[in-house]
Amino acid sequence: MGFFFGKGFKKKNDWRRNFRISCEDPLVVPKLTTILCRHFQELAGQPLLILCIGTDRSTGDALGPLTGTCLEKIVLPGATVWGTLEEPVHAANLKATLKEIRGLPDTPFIVALDACLGPVENVGTIAVSRGPLRPGAGVNKDLPPVGDLHITGTVNVGGFMEYFVLQNTRLGLVHKMAVTIARSLRRGLLQIQAAAGKGGED
């Protein structure tokens, strides 16, 4: 699980660091797609790896692997997905996974995806920020930061009995957020592919 979000960001106009949107927004997919496209424009041919972090043993912490499984079922041009319900990437194997990634022949641009806890007004929101994710920080785990870009979904309220809260998070909300993120990633990659003249349809 990712870090605990505070009540706000300092630079409200900096889309690189503080884009956040509710999964209940009727335009959440096109808006999220637009932000992701802005980031993906900087790939410049670099391979893309979407690292979905979490475990299927906790409802709230299942956002990452559930999103990974959604992504496995759709056409995702130019990207590789690690972390699914069948093969999750979690606290116990994250360091080994990062070592494996460092051994890849081409250094990928990593999009790290994880659940997080936060203030009540942020529950159900999806955030996109440049820079590494700090997985496990919300439950006081010391794990290495990961990612060139990270996507987090606030699945429940944080600050008290975090493990209990994660276990009692609504699966319906987590599933809705996972589907939203997966659709937005796919659309963003298709748009970047089309802009590069490689075709592709949504």
Q: Which of residues 119 and 198 earns the better pLDDT score?
A: 119
* pLDDT beyond 90 at 89: yes
pLDDT digits (tens, 9 = 90+) for 30-76: 999 999 998 888 776 788 999 999 999 999 999 999 999 999 988 78
Identify the pLDDT of residue 54. Answer: 94
- The larger pLDDT score, comparing residue 97 to residue 159, is at 97
Residue at 8 is within a domain? no
**Mean predicted confidence (pLDDT) in 101-127:** 94
Residue pLDDT, tens place only, 15-35: 566 799 999 999 999 999 999
Give me the pLDDT at residue 109, please: 93
Residue 197's pLDDT band, with cuts at 50, 70 and 90, is confident
For residue 7, is pLDDT > 50? no
Residue numbers of the domain that contains 101? 15-190
Establish if 33 belongs to a structural domain. Answer: yes
141 vs 16: which has the higher pLDDT: 141
Report pTM. 0.88
131 in any annotated domain: yes
The answer to whether residue 109 sits within a structural domain is yes
Query: Does 195 reside within a domain?
Result: no
How high does pLDDT run on average in the chain? Answer: 86
CATH code of residue 33: 3.40.50.1450
User: For residue 166, what pLDDT is reported?
Assistant: 87
- Residue 163 is predicted with a pLDDT of 80
State how many domains the chain has: 1
Tell me what pLDDT residue 193 has.
82
Q: Are 191 and 33 in contact (CB under 8 A)?
A: yes
